[in-house]
Chains A and B, each alone.
Chain A
Amino acid sequence: MLKQFTQLLSIQFKEFFREPGALFWSFIFPILMSFALGMAFSDKPEMSQHAAVVIPASDSSFLKTYLNNNCTKSSSQKNEYEKNVDYKKLGKTTTHFIPASWKESEIMMKRGQIEIILTENKGKINYHFDPANFTSRLAYIIVSGMIDGKNLLSTKSVIKPLQTKGTRYIDFLVPGLLAMGIMSSCLWGISYGLIEKRSKKLLRRLVATPMKKSLFMITMFISRFVFAVLETIALLTFAYYVFDVTIQGSIIAFAAVIISGSFFFMGLSILLASRTANTQVGNGFISAITMPMMLLSGIFFSYSNFPDVMIPIIKYLPLTLFADSLRSIINEGFGVMDIIQPLLILSITGLTTFFIGLKIYKWY
C-alpha cells in the first residue's frame, strides 16, 4: 500500500516537472503577469492620449492656430502635434493631435488609435466621442480644458497620492493572480489530466490492476496541492521583493483560504472530469468555467464597474470568494473569523462536488 502510494505520488510529480509548459504556466506566467501589470500601474502616471483634428481649409481656423501656437511638432511622427501638460501630483499628460480628414478620423476611431475627434464649426470646437467610453470621456475633459485654457487642478483641493500598502494596484492584483493561478492549475492539471488519461485509455489500464483508486485520486490531490502551495510561495516571494507586498492579516487565515480554495477547485475538477470522454470536450468545459470567472471575478480590475444587478451574483462566484478572501487577508489584515463564510462555502461546495464527481466517475 505504501509502495503504491509513493510510486503514484512520485509519478505525479515527475509528470509535472518534466513538462516545461506546465512549469511555465504555473510558476513563470503569474510572476510575469504581476511584474508587467504591477510595473505598468505602479510607475509615475504618465498618460498619453490621441485626438484627430479635422482642420477646415480657411486661414482663420482656430484649431490650426491653436496647434501652431500652443503645440510642438512631433519629432517621431510627421504632421503630428504634441502638447505636454504636467499636472504635478496628478501626473503628466501628453496629447497627440493628428491632423486628418473626417473619413481618416473615423477609421482611426474604429481602429482604437484615437480617443476623440475635434472639428470646428462657426468658430466653435466640436468634440466627437463615445460618452460610454471612459478614456474618451477623460480625453474630452483634458483636451477641452487645454483648449479653453482651464486648469484641471483646483486651487481649493490638494491631491494626496496613496502609497500605503494594500491600497496600490499591485496589492489588488497579487491576491487575484494567486486565486486565478490555483484555479487554472487545478482545473487544467486535474480535470484535463484525468480526461487525457481516459482518452488515452490509460485510466482503464490502471484500474484493470489491483491499484487502489482512492490512492490514485489522493496522490493526484496531494501533488496538485503541493504545486498550488509552491505557486503561491513563488508569486508571494516575487511580489514581496519587487513590490513589497506583504500579508498583513493572519497567516493561518491565509493558509485556510488557500486550502479551501484549492479544495473547491479540486472537487470541481473531479466533477468536470467524471464523464468527459475526450480532451476537446474537456477543453471547452474548462474554458467555459474559467473564462467567465476570470473576467467577472475582479482578478485584474474591480467588479464594481459591472451593472448593479450582476454584483450580488459575481460576489458569490467561487473565484470571487477566493480572491476577495485573499485580498482581505493580504491587504486589510483579516483573520480566520472574518472570512469564515467564504471559507465554509468553498470547503462545503468543494466536498460536495468531489463526492458527486467520484460517485458518477467513469473509469473506463
Chain B
Amino acid sequence: MTDANTQPIVKAVNIKKTFKDVIALAGVDLEIMPSEYTALLGPNGAGKTTLVEIIEGIQKPDSGEITLFGKHWSGNKDELYKQIGLSFQETKFEDKLTAAETLKMFASFYGLDNTRVEEILNIVNLQEKRKSYVVNLSGGQRQKLALGIALLNNPKLLILDEPTTGLDPTARREIWSILHELKKTHGTSMILTTHYMEEAENLCEKIVIIDKGKVLAKGTLEQLIAESKTSEIVQFKVLDKSKFPDFSKFSDLREIQWEDSTNIVTMNVDNTSSFLPKMVSYLNNAGCKISELRCRYVTLDDLFIRMTGRKLTD
C-alpha cells in the first residue's frame, strides 16, 4: 500500500462551531480514508450540515483544524475545489437553462469540454433530458443533475448532503446505483449525510453517528453492533401488562424496553435460539399471553435509538 493510500483524505480535529447560543459542533474529530464511503447519520439539527459545510470550506470553524488532502482551505480554495465534488441540500439551478447547458456552465469552471458533459449525461442517465429546462425536471432528475455536476471534475472526494431526501424509492435506488458504480470504477471517497438508515447501510462501509454536535459512535456497521454488545432482538406484544413477570434473573437478556402506548416489549439478547424457548415457557408459567412475536438482528435504527434516545427522523 502506498503512503498516499494510508493518509486520510479528510482530517478534522476537534472542530467546534457555535451559532449565537446554539452549539452546532462541540469538538468533532473525523477522518476519511481514500476510497472510503462514510455516512454521517443524525436527526435534524444534529450538526451534520455544519460539519459538512466546514469540510467543504463554506464555513469556518470557531476552533479546531480541518485539512483536505493534507491542505488547509486558507490559500488553497481553487486547488481543493478542483479535487472535490459537492452536492448541497436543496440547490436550485436556473429554471430556464437546460440540463446540458447547466452542466456545460459548470464544466467551463473546470476547463472541461463537451465530451465530459456527454459522459456525465450518460453516467447520471439524463441523456433524454439534456434539452429539458431544469424547471421541467422531476425531483429525482434534478438530484441526478446535481450529482452530475458534482462528478464533472472526476473528484477524489465526493461530499453529498442528503442527496436523496424527498425522492421516491426508485429514484433513490437509481442514485445509489450510480454511487456504487463510481466506487467500483473510480475509487472515489464519499461523505454522505442522510436521514435514511437504509441508505447508510447500503452505500457506506463507515458510519458516523452524530447528535447535538457530538460524534456518538463511528465505525463499520459490524463494529458498531459489536461495540453495542447486542446483536439480536426479540420483540412481542403483551396482552395483559399486569401479568408480565420479572426477567431480572435472565443473564443473557441485556436490555428490556417497554413501549407504553402499544405494550410492545423489545429485548436485546445475546443468543435468540437459546433465549427464546426459556422466555416462552417463563411467560406461559406466569400466565402472560403475548402476540406478534418477532426475532431479528439488530439494525442501525436500533443502535441509533439506543444512543440518542430518539429516532433518526425526529
Contacts and interface: CB of A to CB of B under 8 A. Distances in A.
A209 B96 CA distance: 21
A202 B94 contact: yes
Contact of A7 (B81, B82, B94, B108): B108
Contact of B105 (A7, A19, A201, A204): A7
A153 B104 CA distance: 72
A211 interface: yes
A206 B78 CA distance: 12
Contacts of B82: 210
Interface residues of B, number: 26
B58 A208 contact: yes
B198 interface: no
Contacts of A8: 105, 108
A361 to B, nearest CB: 15
Given A4-B108, A209-B109, A200 B92 contact: yes
A209 B111 CA distance: 11
A18 B95 CA distance: 10
Interface string B84-113: 001011111110110001001110111100
B58 A209 contact: no
Given A4-B108, A210-B82, A204 B88 contact: yes
Interface in B274-301: none
A6 B104 CA distance: 11
A267 to B, nearest CB: 24
A14 B110 CA distance: 21
Which of the listed residues B104, B105, B106, B111 has the most CB atoms from chain A within 10 Å of its own CB? B105
Contact of B104 (A7, A15, A19): A7
Interface of B: 56-59, 78, 81-82, 86, 88-94, 96-97, 101, 104-106, 108-111, 149
Interface of A: 3-4, 6-8, 11, 14-15, 18-19, 200-202, 204-206, 208-211, 364
Given A205-B88, A208-B81, 13 more contacts: A4-B111, A7-B105, A7-B108, A8-B108, A200-B92, A201-B90, A202-B91, A202-B94, A204-B58, A206-B109, A208-B88, A209-B109, A210-B110
16 contacts: A4-B109, A11-B97, A14-B96, A14-B101, A15-B94, A200-B92, A202-B93, A202-B94, A204-B58, A205-B86, A205-B93, A208-B56, A208-B58, A208-B86, A209-B81, A209-B106
